[in-house]
């Protein structure tokens, strides 16, 4: 098997997220996107897209330990909404408050062929794994907020976000 040594552009941005709420659907067995869809079906994305005041795209996520309850896994899907959100919480979903924190966003370049979404997600995962936030005075802080996987589309590329804290 040939090793792919090509370089793909992946931008990294630190974005301060305000105090907000997270509306999410927990998984009982799932550990990733595919097993989540197998367990919960694929309608969850449309359900969360119907929340018009969401602060970002719908995401599959890895929950911090403090949000995992007995009988569920680290995997969930959902959206962030403004802290003052008082709208309907979809059936089968939970809503929790998230404190203000910094998030490190990783985003690949757009791609031409829709079938390359898996490669784009692999590229953003590779960038996240090899990135050293300490060189800029940050460290990963997985207890502060979920790690988000926003998926990939040919128009925007792949996007993921992970919570960080300042160490300097």
Q: pLDDT digit string (tens) for 80-111?
A: 999 999 999 999 999 999 999 999 999 999 88
| Local structure of 71: helix, strand or coil | coil
pLDDT at 115: 84
Q: How far is the C-alpha of 61 from the C-alpha of 14, rounded, in Å?
A: 18
Neighbours of 125 (CB within 10 A): 15
CA 35 to chain centre: 16
Residue 29 confidence (pLDDT): 96
Share of the chain above pLDDT 70, in %: 96
Q: What is the pLDDT of residues 12-25, one digit of tens each?
A: 999 999 999 999 99
Contact indicator for 145, 93 with CB cutoff of 8 Å: no
CA distance 150 to 147: 10
Question: What is the structure's pLDDT at 4?
Answer: 56
pLDDT of residue 1: 47
The model's confidence at residue 117, banded by pLDDT at 50, 70 and 90, is confident
Contact assessment for residue 81 and residue 20, using Cβ atoms and an 8 Å cutoff: yes
Radius of gyration of the chain (CA): 16
Residue 164 bridge partners (DSSP): 102, 140
Distances 3 to 6, 111, 121 between C-alpha atoms, Å: 9, 20, 17
Q: Whole-prediction pTM value?
A: 0.91
Lowest mean pLDDT among 3-12, 45-54, 62-71, 152-161: 3-12
Name the phi and psi angles at 17, rounded to 5.
-100, 130
**pLDDT tier at 158, thresholds 50, 70, 90:** very high
Residue with tokens 């197998």: 38
Q: Once rounded to an integer, what is the mean pLDDT over residues 109-129?
A: 89
CB 26 within 8 A of CB 94: yes
């Amino acid at each position: 098997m040939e090793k792919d040594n090509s370089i793909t552009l992946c931008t990294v941005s630190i974005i301060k997220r305000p105090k907000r709420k997270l509306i999410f659907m927990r998984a009982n067995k799932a550990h990733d996107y595919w097993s989540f869809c197998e367990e919960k079906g694929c309608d969850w994305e449309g359900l969360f897209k119907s929340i018009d005041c969401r602060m970002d795209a719908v995401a599959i996520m890895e929950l911090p330990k403090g949000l995992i309850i007995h009988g569920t896994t680290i995997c969930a899907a959902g959206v962030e909404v403004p802290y003052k959100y008082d709208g309907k919480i979809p059936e089968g979903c939970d809503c929790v408050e998230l404190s203000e924190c910094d998030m490190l966003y990783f985003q690949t370049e757009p791609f031409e062929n829709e079938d390359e979404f898996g490669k784009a997600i692999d590229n953003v995962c590779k960038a996240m794994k090899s990135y050293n936030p300490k060189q800029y005075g940050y460290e990963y802080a997985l207890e502060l907020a979920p790690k988000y996987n926003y998926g990939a589309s040919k128009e925007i590329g792949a996007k993921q976000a992970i919570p960080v804290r300042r160490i300097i």
